[in-house]
Amino acid sequence: MSNSKRPIPIGDELRSQIEGHIDDLVNSEGVELPPGKRIRFDLEGIPNLVDVPYPAISKRRITQIIDHISSNLFDRSVEWGVLFSELNHLRNDEAARAGFTHQQIWEKIQRTQSNVEIDWGILVSDGPEMRDTPESVAEINCNVWLPQLVIRLLGQPTGRDRDEDERIYLMKKMERDHHGLFLLVDFMCQLYGRANANPSDQHHLAKLGAHCLETLAALFASKDPENDMDHEVFWSLKERVEAISHGNREASPEVEVEDKVEDESEDKTEDGTEN
């Protein structure tokens, strides 16, 4: 009498096909497994629950992100330039790239966007605050951070600590290369001391300060980062991160991500995703 529980050896091709079908069921949520787990058969046909490693991000995916930053975000802030350099290094260094997951790259992008939004938020919020609460002109000391912020918006790196030596250097640089901006920033840097030395002038100084900051915000209006994450390249990466977090560790199709191109005559849209 045969033993029905005895494993039946299966060939490599059949094993691969069965595992592929099971993976498809897991990916379509037809079969539920713990995140990052897959069923694999050994040489004797015995199924095992195994860990599937996180896939490294591909060179093509990195290239797509780099191209998007270069074409659309490079002039927004120096923060995007810094990320561009980091990603360019990964693109050209296969060994380094192999150690980076989609999640890590997504976090770098989010952190970059957050830094840009913080700078922009400060620039556009302090003007209305001075206008609404004139006494705040004696509290908002932009002596160091405003030169740093403006220089970053101009695409050049700065520190984020309050460094007086750097402030002096940046102001000299701004006076030489961007004299109009220098006049606005220099005036703002004087307001804090003037407002504290002359409390009776705070209302007047606050109006002037609000006008200066609102003028700066208007000059840099094209750098508003509100919609900077609203792009197919980032949507695709986010979707891939979410799929991986739910256990889909398989390679994505080798298809380039492109801007969605609508052809009204053929009623067709082209886009793509990349591992």
> For residue range 229-240, what is the model confidence (pLDDT) as tens digits?
999 999 999 999
Report DSSP state, residue 201: G
For residue 260, name the pLDDT band (cuts at 50, 70, 90).
Answer: very low
For residue 5, name the pLDDT band (cuts at 50, 70, 90).
Answer: low
pLDDT tens profile 101-138: 899 999 999 999 999 999 999 999 988 998 898 888 88
Q: At residue 119, what is the residue type? A: D
Q: Closest Cα to residue 80, out of 44, 117, 55? A: 117
Beta bridge partners of 41: 47
Asked if pLDDT for residue 33 goes beyond 90, the answer is no
Contacts of 82 (CB under 8 A, 6+ apart): 112, 157
What are the tokens at 214? Answer: 């609102």
pLDDT tens profile 9-32: 778 888 888 877 887 787 777 777
Is residue 130 within 8 A of residue 213, CB to CB? The reply is: yes
Q: At residue 130, what is the residue type? A: M
Mean pLDDT of 252-269: 40
Mean pLDDT of 194-215: 90
- Looking at residue 141, what is its pLDDT? 83
Asked if pLDDT for residue 252 goes beyond 90, the answer is no
For residue 3, name the pLDDT band (cuts at 50, 70, 90).
Answer: low
What are the tokens at 59? Answer: 């060179």
Mean pLDDT of 32-47: 79
- Looking at residue 269, what is its pLDDT? 39
Mean pLDDT of 163-190: 93
Return d(Cα 167, Cα 169) in angstroms, integer.
5
Q: At residue 86, what is the residue type? A: E
Higher per-residue pLDDT: 242 or 254 = 242
- Looking at residue 42, what is its pLDDT? 82
Radius of gyration of the chain (CA): 27
The runs of H, that is alpha helices, within 133-255 are 145-153, 164-177, 179-197, 202-219, 232-245
- Looking at residue 4, what is its pLDDT? 57
Higher per-residue pLDDT: 131 or 262 = 131
- Looking at residue 233, what is its pLDDT? 95
What are the tokens at 243? Answer: 């799929």
Return d(Cα 40, Cα 97) in angstroms, integer.
27
What does each C-alpha distance from 99 to 56, 61, 131, 241 come to in angstroms? 6, 15, 50, 16
Return d(Cα 70, Cα 183) in angstroms, integer.
31
